[in-house]
Structure 1
Amino acid sequence: MDALSPEREDTWLRMEDPSAIGSARRIATALAEDRRFGEEHAGQVAVAVSEAASNLVKHATMGTMLVRPHPSSRESIEVISIDHGPGMADTVGPIRDGYSTAGTLGIGLGAITRLSDAYDIYSRPGKGTVLTMRFTAKNAPPAESRSCGLYRPVGDEIVSGDAFAVEDTGRTVTAVMCDGLGHGVAAAEASREAVRVFREDPEGTPLAIVERVHRALGHTRGGALAVVHVDRTTGSVRYAGVGNISGWICHYEGRQGMTSVPGIAGHKARSLREFQYDLPPHGVVVLHSDGLTERWDLAAYPGLLTHTSPVIAGTLLRDSAIRRDDACVLAIRTEP
């Protein structure tokens, strides 16, 4: 069973000046060495991350980068690069040797794709680019990327009041998301407690887990809470929620919202209920806190659902986390 949950606070680097390139490279190298990548492999990681970081500093608008241990593998590193422009109409051509894209984000993509063990890229002209890379130690099994959660704290806060966790068996996946009331340390205590209780018994139904977490959060300030269970073999989704976590089933024709009941987990939650939904072929389940607006429209992202979960989550975080609040988004693919 793969467990997906951050072991520490994710740190997003603002790629605004050349010094940020060195910071990203040092973080990536340290992670590679910690995972015993070997000197040559660690050097390849450093080159690929430096290329991506340099692209952001030189050519992007509002570029950010996340370099972290892969949440579902202790032998892998995940890199997520996000920017708001200028974007590219062609993401295939720049990968070919000898392709010239002077002055654009395409520079260095060939090296990035050759040096990483897995990558994905989604770009729209005038909208920006999301690039993800994965590096895995030699002879280690590849890390799964069917689920990806991303979060960031509001403003200058050092911790996020939002948290998530995922248990993925391959056939089924169960996930929890909690948005602690307010933000800062007290909100983080509530959301981390929700994750802890979920971890104790992630095999229950969404309703049973929500009821258990609701009781456990009584000594905290509480928050919004949702639990989803996806069965990839039967094509069904079960969902239970309290408060304003947004749950969506996304497919090529649009999206369907999932129902939460009003209240605050840990304090006021009446008539807790579980709902069941059909999961369309190739569907993607998305959960997000109210730090993301609900007004995103899949029609604005042609082909996005064919991409990996890190690219889907990164794109939604970039474009929809526009409120002054902690933000968290989780994307669950039903297929590799």
Structure 2
Amino acid sequence: MIPCSPPLLVDGEDVSWFRDQPEAARGAAAALGRRIGLGEERTAQLVLAVAEMAANLTQHAVDGALLLRVLRNQAVAGVEVIAVDHGPGMSDVPAALRDGMSTAGTLGIGLGAVQRLADSLAIHSQPGLGTLQLARFWPRPLPASVTGEPAVGGITRPIGGEQVCGDAWAARTDTGGSNSRSATDHNTARSRDNGTPRHDWAALTGTQPGRQEPPAHAPHRLPVAARTLPVHAAVPGSGPGILVMSCDGLGHGPLAAAAAQAAVHAFRTSTARTPEQAIQHVHRALRGTRGAAVAIARLEPDGRVLFCGVGNVTAALVTATTRTLLLSQPGIVGHQMHQLRTYEQQLPAHGVLAMHSDGLSERWKASDLAGLLHHPPALIAAGLLRHAGTRRDDASVVIAKAAR
């Protein structure tokens, strides 16, 4: 059945990670709440929940981290909190959510109170592996524009020692008209119209567009597909499709981040309806930057997935028992690309599209996500990052569920 309205999408920004820093996490939560206008009472509730989640990490996690970020669509902004840990886990999550179950050393409000304070709370825990938690806080009363679960969720983490991440993800809807835009396109367009200067990255880095030699670490290998996927002319459907991008700016640090953000801006403001067209737009936008590996997929309401990728971004259709890799081509978006090809595949029932940078190992299996697939996409992304992420590079994961 084709939905009567586009699926819910939100954009993430102002991403901050905290490890063994409960005071810093509480302070950052208070600052975010005030800055986006949550209101005094709602901000206090956010800070209380962050304090409880951070205290649980300090008390019980072997290796835990807490992420804070702003979520935004055209109408409203909120705060998302994700806690990821390796630890003893919980054998009975419903029991942990009952009042009176707060563990020693925390503030005593318990996860049940966090659940009541948050507009949504998702928890996945496995004994001996650890716990994943996701809580969202929107202004009260809850705006109608953010009811339901976003169809796409992602997560990014910079390499150790860096404050900015050279990886990025983005999503937008396409309804076939000129108003097909992402959740924050109105902000990026306004910034452009106000005359925000565009950096000449070629001048800054001493390179010339089209003549830069690829770095020694540039991705050249081709992911091996689980089976050969057919090549089709990309024909978008009549319903509202979801376009999803995963981008890995070459290297890491500020220049990689600049390339990734240029790709995000080009993707969000493009009116391209197919992945191949969208990558061409991103390619033009990245000339003069370091360049990037980029993969873009379009999910149709009928379950079709159109996919085009350049460089070392892993993309797969995943169910509880299967993992089918989608084929990317060698190249560097912004520098060198061969003729683009769009592949078409059917997303299996109850399956997800997973895309990630090479900051994650490719050696994960469908069974590693089997218990997570019913959770929100952002929590699935956090679980895959915990399982396969490395500390030697920037890392990003984006998960998308069917548009239908």
- Tell me the TM-score normalised to structure 1 length: 0.90
Seen in structure 2, the aligned counterparts of structure 1 residues 174 and 66 have a Cα distance that, compared at 3 Å, is: same
Residue in 2 aligned with 1:308?
376
CA contact 2:357–2:395 (8 Å) conserved in 1? yes
Instruction: Give the one of 146, 157, 163 matched to 2:162.
Output: 157
Unaligned runs of 5+ in 2: 1-5, 175-238
Q: Does 1:208 align with 2:277?
A: yes
Residue in 1 aligned with 2:208?
none
Q: Higher RCO, 1 or 2 (CA under 8 Å, sep at least 6)? A: 2
Q: Does 1:254 align with 2:256?
A: no
Deviation (angstroms), 1:284: 1.0
Deviation (angstroms), 1:34: 3.1
Residue in 2 aligned with 1:295?
363
CA contact 2:312–2:358 (8 Å) conserved in 1? yes
Residues in 1 aligned to 2:267 and 2:241: alpha-carbon distance in whole angstroms? 16
Q: Does 1:174 align with 2:176?
A: no
Residue in 1 aligned with 2:62?
61
Seen in structure 2, the aligned counterparts of structure 1 residues 176 and 110 have a Cα distance that, compared at 3 Å, is: same
Seen in structure 2, the aligned counterparts of structure 1 residues 12 and 114 have a Cα distance that, compared at 3 Å, is: same
Q: Does 1:229 align with 2:306?
A: no
Deviation (angstroms), 1:103: 8.4
In the TM superposition, what whole-angstrom CA distance separates every residue of 1:146-165 from its partner, at most 9, and x where no partner exists?
Answer: 21111111121221111221
Letter in 1 for 2:137: F
Q: Does 1:43 align with 2:44?
A: yes
Letter in 1 for 2:331: G
Residue in 1 aligned with 2:90?
88
Letter in 2 for 1:176: M
More strand per residue = 1
Instruction: Give the one of 10, 13, 18 matched to 1:13.
Output: 18
Residue in 2 aligned with 1:220?
289
CA contact 1:4–1:165 (8 Å) conserved in 2? no
Residues in 2 aligned to 1:323 and 1:39: alpha-carbon distance in whole angstroms? 37
Instruction: Give the one of 268, 271, 294 matched to 2:336.
Output: 268
Deviation (angstroms), 1:6: 3.7
CA contact 1:147–1:331 (8 Å) conserved in 2? yes
Seen in structure 2, the aligned counterparts of structure 1 residues 37 and 184 have a Cα distance that, compared at 3 Å, is: closer
Residues in 2 aligned to 1:205 and 1:107: alpha-carbon distance in whole angstroms? 48
In the TM superposition, what whole-angstrom CA distance separates every residue of 1:228-284 from its partner, at most 9, and x where no partner exists?
Answer: 1011x2111000011111111111322211111111112222121000010112221
Deviation (angstroms), 1:111: 1.4
50-59 or 192-201: bigger deviation: 192-201
Residue in 2 aligned with 1:78?
80
Residues in 1 aligned to 2:294 and 2:132: alpha-carbon distance in whole angstroms? 28
Residue in 2 aligned with 1:192?
261
Deviation (angstroms), 1:74: 3.3
In the TM superposition, what whole-angstrom CA distance separates every residue of 1:101-131 from its partner, at most 9, and x where no partner exists?
Answer: 6689x98211111111100011111111110
Letter in 1 for 2:310: V
In the TM superposition, what whole-angstrom CA distance separates every residue of 1:204-238 from its partner, at most 9, and x where no partner exists?
Answer: 2101111222233221221211111011x211100
CA contact 1:176–1:227 (8 Å) conserved in 2? yes
Deviation (angstroms), 1:30: 2.4
CA contact 1:59–1:103 (8 Å) conserved in 2? no
Instruction: Give the one of 321, 344, 349 matched to 1:281.
Output: 349
25-34 or 249-258: bigger deviation: 25-34
3-state SS of paired residue (1:260): coil
Seen in structure 2, the aligned counterparts of structure 1 residues 280 and 319 have a Cα distance that, compared at 3 Å, is: same
Letter in 2 for 1:117: D
Residues in 2 aligned to 1:325 and 1:160: alpha-carbon distance in whole angstroms? 9
RMSD: 2.3
Deviation (angstroms), 1:85: 0.9
Residues in 2 aligned to 1:190 and 1:335: alpha-carbon distance in whole angstroms? 29
CA contact 2:100–2:110 (8 Å) conserved in 1? no
Q: Does 1:98 align with 2:166?
A: no
Residues in 2 aligned to 1:319 and 1:83: alpha-carbon distance in whole angstroms? 11
Letter in 2 for 1:80: I
In the TM superposition, what whole-angstrom CA distance separates every residue of 1:17-58 from its partner, at most 9, and x where no partner exists?
Answer: xxx222222222222233433333222222111111110111
Unaligned runs of 5+ in 1: none
CA contact 1:293–1:323 (8 Å) conserved in 2? no
3-state SS of paired residue (2:373): helix
Residues in 2 aligned to 1:75 and 1:187: alpha-carbon distance in whole angstroms? 27
115-124 or 208-217: bigger deviation: 208-217
Deviation (angstroms), 1:203: 3.7
Residues in 2 aligned to 1:332 and 1:219: alpha-carbon distance in whole angstroms? 31
CA contact 1:94–1:107 (8 Å) conserved in 2? no
Deviation (angstroms), 1:296: 1.3
188-197 or 235-244: bigger deviation: 188-197
Residues in 2 aligned to 1:210 and 1:5: alpha-carbon distance in whole angstroms? 20
Letter in 2 for 1:51: E
